[in-house]
Structure 1
């Protein structure tokens, strides 16, 4: 029952660690397969250009926005501007929709790249332009910050994934001892730190990027958003990882795995009293089948010489 109880004690943190790993795997899989509907919904950032306005009534900044407008208009006329762009951890995908904005069809996904960041100049094929020429200071600053942070964000997700794998492997050894749980708790703490850091970074930077796109590109009816599905998966990974760390810590303090139903044996201590066989009865008094019974006490009136209760000492 001891090992069985130990296994039951670590089942919960092991299940939570596996759930956290699955969530991280889903984050990594976003936008990798254009034919998978689940992966298409897992993106950090989406630029919706379906309602691109080729004839805006008013441009807020003539110096920059007229240049940007001309570049976007040229991309739209040449069909280089798609209806939507979705950004994942490794790459981006683009595609078209019907007139109602439904039934999206992904037409292209870029090759996977570590520390990927979405560059609208390159993606929208704004040829012979630079960000300094077509984007104002606010847009340029948002893109620069986004580019700088993506390296740390990508590294944090990768480290969190592999440390979680190590946590699960170490959790197997935790079945046999509380020391195993202690080491697994350390790995779980490291995993939680990087998952939380990656979640905070990705949520913050893409929320800021979406806000910048919306404010700067609003005259062109280009809208930006984040995926609720991706945010849900990311923060579920944080919750599962944090909960698993608590349960691993609990298994370190409790559930030793030792059985409580052990047979207790009593050893004879030295100098204890034991009955010694009478020397007058010989070998027959050693507990054999022919052991003679002790003589009864004499009754009243019997001769005193018929019973000798004590050994006589000869001087």
Structure 2
């Protein structure tokens, strides 16, 4: 297969690698620009605070919720104090009605006519994690002492896993970019495909690891805190677009890795018609066509020159089919069967 076939063999994994990079970029750009409705809808989890209002739930209602889900680390009076403080901060515009958590930051806003309208987004920050106490301006109060015992444990795990998740996405992004750059050299030889495959495998591992981490982290986060936060009037909603983007990145990365491996084993860039690539000593050998005459050696005489010593006359018994003796010639006579 020649260079044209080699290019056709490389273009498929190359396009799949570009698709992987685009999906990773979408994940990274989620919740980074308040004016973009597209990027605002790319979030891992949404914290809905619309039901926080002073006096929304009585002590008995809160106690029923705590008993229903076997929450013993807090009592109804502590929950009531936290709800009152959150409601007061919300009225003072210190707390928004919802918060969307992305990879590098979060966006907040209010709900108008049933639509979530983003008003502000934080600046992107490496190793970001969402700290409700700081964001909701509760760090200067005694609310931290009234939080459930499991809160600090969950936030400690969330902070550590979020750090690893950010690093995994960064490595996946870098290796995918290198994969695209090195992929140019894969057109020239299988060695280029081999090097590209190494980066493809690395990118696939970290893209998958980051996607699994994000999915498991926020699923567990939502599952473990949903019942507890319900007592405070807080609801959690998982995003859809960001998970679709990150798992599409995994699918594209896997497909590109498979095709890069295929390009190492097959699709050579050498042309079968290029004889300069053949080893020395194995040139083409011309074969003689049947019934052809070859010139005699150095002793051959020119045509028409008679030399009785070179070709003695043949006996009559040698030619039974004719009475005439053949004429001497510097070429071999025609042999009759």
1:184 aligns with 2:204: no
CA distance in 2 between partners of 1:240 and 1:223 (Å): 34
For the 8 Å contact 1:67–1:133, the answer to whether it is kept is: no
Q: Deviation string for 1:7-32 (max 9, x for gaps)? A: 11111111111100000000111011
Q: 4+ runs of 1 displaced by more than 6 Å?
A: 296-299
1:85 aligns with 2:95: no
Structure 1 vs Structure 2 CA RMSD: 2.9
Pairwise CA distance, 1:277: 5.0
Partner of residue 251 from structure 2, selected from 234, 239, 242: 239
Pairwise CA distance, 1:141: 1.9
Report the CA distance shift for 1:130/1:182 in structure 2 as closer, same or farther (over 3 A).
farther
Counterparts in 2 of 1:1-315, with a 5 A limit? Answer: 2-55=2-55, 56-57=57-58, 58-59=61-62, 60=66, 61-62=75-76, 64-98=78-112, 100-102=113-115, 104-129=116-141, 132-261=144-273, 266-267=284-285, 275-276=295-296, 279=299, 281-282=301-302
Pairwise CA distance, 1:83: 1.3
Instruction: State the TM-score, normalizing by the size of structure 1.
Output: 0.84
* Structure 1, unaligned runs of 5 or more: 286-293, 311-315
* Structure 2, unaligned runs of 5 or more: 67-74, 276-281, 288-292, 305-310, 331-337
CA distance in 2 between partners of 1:130 and 1:44 (Å): 30
**Number of residues of Structure 1 aligned to a counterpart in Structure 2:** 294
Pairwise CA distance, 1:308: 5.5
CA distance in 1 between partners of 2:122 and 2:143 (Å): 21
Q: Deviation string for 1:241-283 (max 9, x for gaps)? A: 01111111111111112223457962479xxx9632573625x
CA distance in 2 between partners of 1:53 and 1:30 (Å): 29
Pairwise CA distance, 1:131: 6.8
Residue aligned with 1:152, SS:
helix
Question: Which range moves more in the overlay, 55-64 or 238-247?
Answer: 55-64
For the 8 Å contact 2:54–2:88, the answer to whether it is kept is: no
CA distance in 2 between partners of 1:175 and 1:126 (Å): 58
